[in-house]
Amino acid sequence: MKKDDSQIILICLYVIIVLLLVNTIFTIINTGSKTAEKEQEVGPVYDVSMMELLNLNEVVALFDGKGTYVVYIGRSECPHCVNFLPTLQRAQNEFNYVTIKVDADLDENRDPEATAKLRDLLTMEYTMQFEEGPETKTFGEFYYQYGFVPTTFIIKDGKMVDGIIGGLDFKAFAELLEKNGFKK
């Protein structure tokens, strides 16, 4: 082998090593950015461990007694539910109560009879904005007809006294709680 041939082979090896290093660095950077993008897409973690999990029939039974309850109906795959959770968590901490959580993903919470009972108990009038314009129904009719989540309502001494369909920022949710007798 000539000296020129060995130099060419050595240069080719250097070029291959540099290309492999560049490829490895590019792959590491690209993987890191995809992970960050995925974390951004997912948003906050859907952690409801600080809530008391009840089914619809158990929530219906809350209307038979005394006491004040904040009931939240949501789904783990619902981006609006996930985004509303930090507000619920902060409110629980600052107002010292435990949210009742109904998991809308569970089959037991899709029972037509229990859903109809809940519809009949959620009698507060509520107006929602649709593309066609505003629509007013009872809170229960909106939930029964559309199954909107997140749905959050307050039961006080056997009656629904307030609620929201969708999420609120913390300030607005805190005002809703204070309006209904919750204290920090």
Residue 131 has pLDDT above 60, yes or no: yes
Give me the pLDDT at residue 69, please.
Answer: 97
Share above pLDDT 70 across residues of the chain, in percent, rounded to a whole number: 90
170: Cβ–Cβ under 8 A, 6 or more apart, which residues? 86, 87, 90, 91
DSSP the chain: --HHHHHHHHHHHHHHHHHHHHHHHHHHHHHHHHHHHHHHHH-S----TTSEE--HHHHHHHTTS-SEEEEEEE-TT-HHHHHHHHHHHHHHHHHT---EEEETTSGGGG-HHHHHHHHHH---EEEEEETTEEEEEEHHHHHHHH--SSEEEEEETTEEEEEEES---HHHHHHHHHHTT---
Tell me the mean pLDDT in the region 74-94.
93
pTM, whole model, 2 decimals? Answer: 0.75
Q: Span 52-179: which CATH code?
A: 3.40.30.10
> Residue holding tokens 């959050």?
152
The encoded tokens of residue 143 equal 């939930």
Give me the pLDDT at residue 2, please.
Answer: 63
The mean of the pLDDT values for the chain is 87
Confidence band of 105 (pLDDT split at 50, 70, 90): confident
Give me the pLDDT at residue 26, please.
Answer: 74
| CA 20 from centre of chain | 43
CA atoms of 151 and 56, how far apart (whole Å): 13
